Structure 1
């Protein structure tokens, strides 16, 4: 039987391999586009193909989450049996900000136009757009994997916590959190291109995971300066607390709605979705609205919940405040498990 660390490495390799494969597909499509037609192409077939590839990547990593958590619990001599089944498609088609993934993937085309308008040669502008596209895609797939893992943890009562596993190369914000243990329901701090992962725990303590100081020591001085800045690296080597040198939450954004801080999405909230059907049965009114493709209205043939925005998994965990039964209730309500 594989050890928990081997299982975690296997999960990491699966997610990164999926990201690489999807990005290769997207790169092949992007190479057929030109700076003067990229926006039109992204509103048409090319954009649909790119979005479909990214969604397929999200769905693939989400589908593997339940088996990964079960294997981890079994390796830790804990019950691998979940109390509910994860719905993989609930994690696909959504961007890291909770908005439509298609809209997010249209932004690189806008970036190309802006670069050209600023005087950049069209070829370089397209390279910049591809860099943006790969960043958005990789982040969306990695986020789908982490969210699915955390929901699968919530369905498995034997899983009580997770440890943050950081793979080098990594940025200072991630290194400072390496080896930290969190309750299973605590949100996962991440940033664009973050490939850190959760390792589920059946116990409160977990030996053998590299600490921030150990990861720092593995970097040579040039790498230390690149990640933490010259002055920051020098301070850490002199004995400064690594957590004080790095602001781990820098760049993390929140959304404020009706005077409350919430993470919500309207993706997967249509009448035909799992969440939409559950709200309809509960008597929620469905309002007709236009479909969206890259931020542009398509038709008025869709219906969406008129009262209840769909909470993101991390918001469910925050509101449940550690109550496992409440977590499961909310995860069912918002269509992440059945």
Structure 2
């Protein structure tokens, strides 16, 4: 195993450790509230504690990204160094679909309340919300880590691509994408609770990652049947192509969609916010809103990469303008 591969594995474990810790903390807070009080609790102290825990997890996940990318470049003999510094706080408090994180985390409470109203038991209703918030929290931590890695890769001139890192157990959709190389600015295909990682690559390095077929061979027969189904296993043993057995893109999506309206966020766009200060576009107060916010919309990192295309200089300029790097 190369040093770069070891670093990617360590980064993966670090992110997973952060996510597990935050999910456990959020689950404990959720269980302390009876289902009939969950709506008011999420608007009060419990909601504030859950939001604070997830934001702390986002910050921890983001903070390790630039050191990881820089170390990966050094391990591959590319010692140019970053041209800008990641601003981890710029990725905190924002959900990966660009909405404020607080509004996303309130949805499981609504789900629980709706389940109660539909006549489900308190236990079933609470569990429905608990499962949803656990999925959301784990996904948001992983998405924040990956977004921070994207921004950090853009700031490294020698980084031109990344390889998808898949660890077992994994779903078949991710297995089929294992070892694929993408441009450093190409959005990451993932599904809810996807924990796949990234290994940054230089222009002179090619990663010998596990192929999808190799990962399937590493599975136990029970795991193969669970992931592929008995018919799929039989077809594979008969020589069928793995890609024909499973549609790799079914259920997969980038954190910010590549088509349709551009994703923007209002998070951090007040006069004191990171985005508001960075945009420097003036401020205005919308009717019914408490604070003045930047006149110019703040773009999400993935949207910046989409608009800037392959022009790294333009990417860096836009990432600075929107407060993600300094």
TM range (shorter): over 0.9
Q: Secondary structure at the match of 1:271?
A: coil
In the alignment of these two chains, the number of paired residues is 324
Q: CA deviation at 1:80?
A: 5.2
In the TM superposition, 1:100-115 aligns within 5 A as 100-115=100-115
- Structure 1 equivalent of residue 20 of structure 2: 20
For the pair 1:309 / 2:297, whether they are aligned, the reply is yes
Q: Secondary structure at the match of 1:182?
A: strand
Q: Secondary structure at the match of 2:36?
A: coil
**Counterparts in 2 of 1:204 and 1:311: CA distance versus 1, 3 Å:** farther
In the TM superposition, 1:123-272 aligns within 5 A as 123-203=123-203, 205-252=205-252, 260-272=260-272
Contact 1:265–1:309 at 8 Å: present in 2 too? yes
Q: CA deviation at 1:329?
A: 1.0
- Structure 2 equivalent of residue 335 of structure 1: 323
Q: Secondary structure at the match of 2:200?
A: strand
**Counterparts in 2 of 1:166 and 1:35: CA distance versus 1, 3 Å:** same
Contact 1:59–1:92 at 8 Å: present in 2 too? yes
Contact 1:105–1:136 at 8 Å: present in 2 too? yes
For the pair 1:33 / 2:33, whether they are aligned, the reply is yes
Gaps of 5+ in 1: 291-299
Rounded to whole Å, the distance in 1 between the matches of 2:257 and 2:287 is 23
Q: Secondary structure at the match of 1:164?
A: strand
* Deviation larger for 246-255 or 221-230: 246-255
Rounded to whole Å, the distance in 1 between the matches of 2:99 and 2:287 is 16
Q: CA deviation at 1:251?
A: 2.8
Rounded to whole Å, the distance in 1 between the matches of 2:230 and 2:261 is 36
Q: CA deviation at 1:261?
A: 4.2
Contact 2:51–2:105 at 8 Å: present in 1 too? yes
Q: CA deviation at 1:127?
A: 2.0
Q: Secondary structure at the match of 2:142?
A: helix
The runs of 4+ residues in structure 1 deviating greater than 6 Å are 254-257
* Deviation larger for 72-81 or 39-48: 72-81
For the pair 1:78 / 2:100, whether they are aligned, the reply is no
Contact 2:98–2:264 at 8 Å: present in 1 too? yes
Q: CA deviation at 1:271?
A: 2.9
Q: Secondary structure at the match of 1:37?
A: helix
TM-score after normalising by structure 1: 0.89
Contact 1:160–1:201 at 8 Å: present in 2 too? yes
Contact 1:165–1:196 at 8 Å: present in 2 too? yes
TM-score after normalising by structure 2: 0.93
* Deviation larger for 137-146 or 211-220: 211-220
- Structure 2 equivalent of residue 321 of structure 1: 309
Q: CA deviation at 1:289?
A: 5.8
Gaps of 5+ in 2: none
Rounded to whole Å, the distance in 1 between the matches of 2:36 and 2:320 is 46
**Counterparts in 2 of 1:235 and 1:204: CA distance versus 1, 3 Å:** farther
Q: CA deviation at 1:240?
A: 2.5
CA-based RMSD:
2.1
Q: CA deviation at 1:318?
A: 1.8
Q: CA deviation at 1:119?
A: 2.9
**Counterparts in 2 of 1:326 and 1:35: CA distance versus 1, 3 Å:** same
Contact 2:98–2:265 at 8 Å: present in 1 too? yes
**Counterparts in 2 of 1:266 and 1:4: CA distance versus 1, 3 Å:** same
Contact 1:271–1:286 at 8 Å: present in 2 too? no
Rounded to whole Å, the distance in 2 between the matches of 1:265 and 1:237 is 48
* Deviation larger for 116-125 or 172-181: 116-125
Rounded to whole Å, the distance in 1 between the matches of 2:17 and 2:80 is 26
